[in-house]
């Protein structure tokens, strides 16, 4: 039976801001993270230790980590794509290091500048460092539901990559619908094959985007499969409203509303989350995609 608890990993400060045109200052990013960590969310992907020339939105991760408050019970993750990034993450004091492998060869080449096999080999370079530092080691299998260059991605390929990550010491794996093309039947197919490949002890989750409005259907399917965690972003941050194919993550507070009314626990104060979304929205010229911040909770909002 599926657990009644779902762990939300807030990725707005990383995946969200990374995909917004406006570059947030260190102090703004710190305030966003501090506001989020006060809502009861247990896990925040706060920073990325990638080359700031490639991703200027994520520069100065060390400063962000040094300035945020660290409430008890909240885990802070940093993304690292290579050994140098992992060393920076450990030095900066993250609780979790997240690695990324893209499930399609073309996209992985473009994103990581290496083949999938080379990227998997690179994981072993960082695994020992992270484990020896006593930190959680996790990974995301990106573009697992579809690739913008190659089209369909085989679920068996996602499972093959997941198994290699698990064999390499990864304790949690997130399967990402990076371009928001997935549908619920894919969630079940991928979950089944990945679970079969990695065994019962690896924590599995999904990282969902709402590009084609299937993100929440996919999330509902995922909790039915018994996932440990879901990634989402405050207000649905991350989809540039001026881009033709906006690719925001599913909005955390909308996800929490759905899960709460389905009978699942997240531990998150949804009203407090909506306040953070409204605050964050003030930095943009257009409304954020989140719907609960507009419609209100139900039944609370009923007359």
As a whole number of Å, the end-to-end CA separation of the chain is: 36
The three-point CA angle 124-207-87 to 5° equals 35
Taking phi over 0 as left and psi of -120 to 50 as alpha, with beta for the rest, 283 belongs to alpha
Which of 147, 170, 240, 256 is flagged as catalytic? 240
Active site residue 240: yes
Q: How many C-beta neighbours within 10 Å does residue 241 have?
A: 14
Cβ contact 10:45 at 8 Å: yes
Kind plus residue range of the DSSP H or E element containing 90: helix 83-92
In the complex, least distance from residue 180 CB atom to Mg ion, rounded to whole angstroms: 9
- Report DSSP letters for 43-59, one per residue: EEEEEE-S-TTT-GGG-
Report the residue number, 7 or 45, with the smaller CB distance to Mg ion: 45
Which of residues 90 and 179 has its CB atom nearest to Mg ion in the complex?
A: 179
Looking at 12-20, 148-156, 158-166, 179-187, which segment touches Mg ion (CB under 5 A)? 12-20
Q: Is 15 one of the binding residues for Mg ion (CB under 5 A)?
A: yes
Choices 15-23, 101-109, 129-137, 274-282; region in contact with Mg ion by CB under 5 A: 15-23
Instruction: Report, in Å, the least distance between residue 300 CB and Mg ion.
Output: 30
Number of amino acids touching Mg ion (CB under 5 A): 1
Instruction: Please identify, using beta-carbon distances, which residue of 15 and 20 lies nearer to Mg ion.
Output: 15
Of 90 and 246, nearer to Mg ion (C-beta) is: 246
The residue ranges that bind Mg ion (CB under 5 A) are 15
């Amino acid at each position: 039976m599926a657990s009644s608890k779902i762990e939300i990993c807030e990725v707005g400060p990383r995946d969200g801001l990374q995909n917004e045109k406006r570059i947030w200052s260190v102090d703004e990013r710190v305030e966003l993270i501090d506001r989020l960590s006060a809502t009861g969310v247990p896990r925040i992907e706060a920073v990325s230790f990638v080359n700031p020339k490639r991703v200027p939105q994520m520069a100065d991760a060390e400063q962000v980590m040094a300035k945020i408050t660290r409430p008890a019970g909240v885990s802070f993750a940093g993304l690292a794509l290579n050994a140098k990034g992992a060393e920076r993450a450990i030095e900066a004091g993250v609780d979790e290091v997240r690695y990324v492998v893209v499930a399609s060869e073309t996209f992985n080449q473009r994103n990581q500048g290496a083949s999938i096999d080379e990227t998997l080999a690179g994981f072993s370079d960082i695994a020992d460092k992270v484990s020896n530092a006593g930190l959680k080691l996790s990974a995301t299998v990106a573009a697992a539901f579809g690739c913008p260059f190659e089209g369909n991605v085989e679920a068996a390929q996602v499972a093959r990559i997941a198994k290699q990550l698990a064999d390499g010491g990864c304790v949690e794996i997130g399967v990402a619908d990076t371009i928001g093309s997935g549908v619920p039947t894919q969630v079940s197919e991928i979950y089944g094959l990945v679970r079969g490949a990695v065994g019962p002890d690896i924590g599995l989750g999904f990282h969902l985007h709402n590009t084609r409005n299937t993100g929440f259907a996919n999330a509902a399917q995922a909790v039915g499969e018994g996932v440990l965690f879901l990634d989402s972003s405050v207000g649905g941050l991350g989809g540039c409203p001026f881009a033709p194919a906006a690719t925001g993550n599913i909005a955390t507070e909308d996800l929490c509303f759905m899960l709460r009314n389905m009978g699942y626990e997240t531990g998150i104060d949804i009203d407090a989350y909506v306040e953070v979304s409204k605050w964050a929205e003030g930095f943009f010229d257009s409304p954020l995609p989140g719907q609960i911040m507009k419609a209100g909770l139900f039944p609370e909002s009923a007359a």
